[in-house]
């Protein structure tokens, strides 16, 4: 007969939650106190009332986005395109590394080593100042290519780890059914691998959002660059950069939440498929 779980006292969870909440509030209060104390010593004059106009405003009753939200729109466009290209480049590189062709494996390996062992900022400068004039690329295109290549190198390792984690019996069963490589990966391997690589790919997507701030160095009017412009014009240094940081935090938390929902959906679909007799 299985051993019974120890009985928890009534109200145990509520007391624990209350203690955790109190600790969190105490920590938050300490951070606020340090911030206020530091600003007093610096003699800084907070002017938060001037920040909303850079988020949104009404001109003659017409709603318009402020500069920060316009920059966020540019960040979204760069991130969305780079995310798609990152997945394509990462999956392609992972598959090339697993082929029997030494040329394909060598090319994929050289790309990974080159990208992963050089700073992203240097890659952005190289593509914008060297490659872009030769190929006639715009600053926006240079930013997308730089981010896609950089994040794709890390995504390829995630994809490769997910594919190699699939049991070898799955590969052998697909081959015994006469499946070619394309059909095998599409119908057997990748559907299983996607469930395993989704959490680390989420972290890579969050890194992509944060790394996109570096494209401001090549005059892209993204969120970070708009923050620099506003800071230079108004000297609202703390207010502007706290607001920019809060926007980035909100975006990354929302992205993590969406991926958690997708994980639950995939797990539910996979469970239902396995329960079918």
HSE-CB for 164 with a 13 A CA cutoff: 11
Task: Report how far residue 117's alpha carbon sits from residue 106's, in angstroms, rounded to the nearest whole number.
Answer: 16
Which of 49-53, 68-72, 192-196, 231-235 bottoms out in mean pLDDT, i.e. has the lowest? 192-196
What is the secondary structure of 147-205 as a DSSP string?
HHHHHHHHHHHHHHHHHHTS-HHHHHHHHHTT--HHHHIIIIIHHHHHHHHHHHHHHHH
pLDDT of residue 117: 93
Closest C-alpha to 211, from 141, 144, 258, 137 = 144
Which of 6-15, 20-29, 109-118, 204-213 bottoms out in mean pLDDT, i.e. has the lowest? 6-15
Q: In the 8-state DSSP scheme, what is residue 51? A: S
Q: Give how far Cα 94 sits from Cα of 200, 240, 247, Å.
A: 15, 41, 33
- Given a cut of 70, whether residue 197 has pLDDT beyond it is yes
Q: Which long-range contacts (CB under 8 A, 24 or more apart) does 42-46 make?
A: 44/238, 46/238, 46/239
What three-state secondary structure class fits 119?
coil
HSE-CB for 210 with a 13 A CA cutoff: 12
pLDDT in tens, 19-62: 878 888 888 888 878 877 777 777 778 888 999 999 998 888 88
The average pLDDT across 67-77 equals 95
CB-count burial class (<10 Å; 0-12, 13-18, 19+) for 91: buried
Residue 263 CB neighbour total at 10 angstroms: 14
Closest C-alpha to 148, from 97, 226, 82, 225 = 82
Give backbone dihedrals phi and psi of 55, rounded to 5 degrees, phi first: -100, -50
pLDDT of residue 1: 47
The secondary element (H helix, E strand) that includes residue 220 is none
With tokens 């609202």, the residue in question is 236
Average pLDDT of the residues of the chain? 85
HSE-CB for 127 with a 13 A CA cutoff: 23
Distance between start and end Cα atoms, the chain: 31
pTM of the model: 0.81
pLDDT in tens, 131-184: 999 999 999 999 999 999 999 999 999 999 988 888 888 888 888 888 877 788
């Amino acid at each position: 007969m299985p051993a019974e779980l120890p009985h928890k006292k009534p109200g145990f969870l509520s007391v624990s939650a209350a203690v955790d909440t109190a600790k969190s509030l105490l920590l938050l209060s300490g951070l606020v106190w340090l911030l206020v104390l530091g600003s007093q010593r610096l003699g800084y004059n907070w002017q938060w009332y001037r920040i909303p106009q850079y988020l949104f405003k009404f001109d003659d009753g017409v709603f318009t986005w402020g500069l920060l939200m316009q920059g966020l729109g540019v960040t979204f466009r760069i991130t969305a395109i780079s995310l798609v290209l990152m997945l394509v480049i990462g999956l392609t590189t992972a598959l090339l590394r697993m082929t029997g062709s030494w040329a394909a494996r060598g090319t994929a390996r050289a790309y990974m080593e080159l990208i992963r062992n050089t700073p992203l900022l240097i890659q952005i400068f190289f593509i914008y100042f060297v490659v872009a004039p030769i190929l006639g690329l715009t600053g926006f295109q240079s930013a997308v290519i730089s981010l896609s290549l950089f994040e794709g190198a890390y995504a390829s390792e995630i994809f490769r780890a997910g594919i190699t984690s699939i049991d070898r019996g799955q590969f052998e069963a697909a081959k015994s059914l006469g499946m070619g490589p394309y059909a095998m990966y599409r119908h057997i391997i990748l559907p299983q691998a996607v469930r395993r690589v989704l959490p680390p790919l989420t972290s890579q997507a969050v890194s992509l959002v944060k790394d996109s701030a570096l494209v401001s160095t090549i005059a892209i009017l993204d969120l970070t660059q708009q923050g620099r412009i506003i800071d230079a014009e108004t000297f609202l240094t703390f207010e502007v950069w706290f607001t920019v940081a809060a926007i980035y935090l909100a975006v990354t938390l929302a992205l993590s939440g969406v991926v958690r929902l997708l994980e639950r959906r995939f797990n539910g679909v996979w469970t239902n498929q396995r329960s079918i007799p």
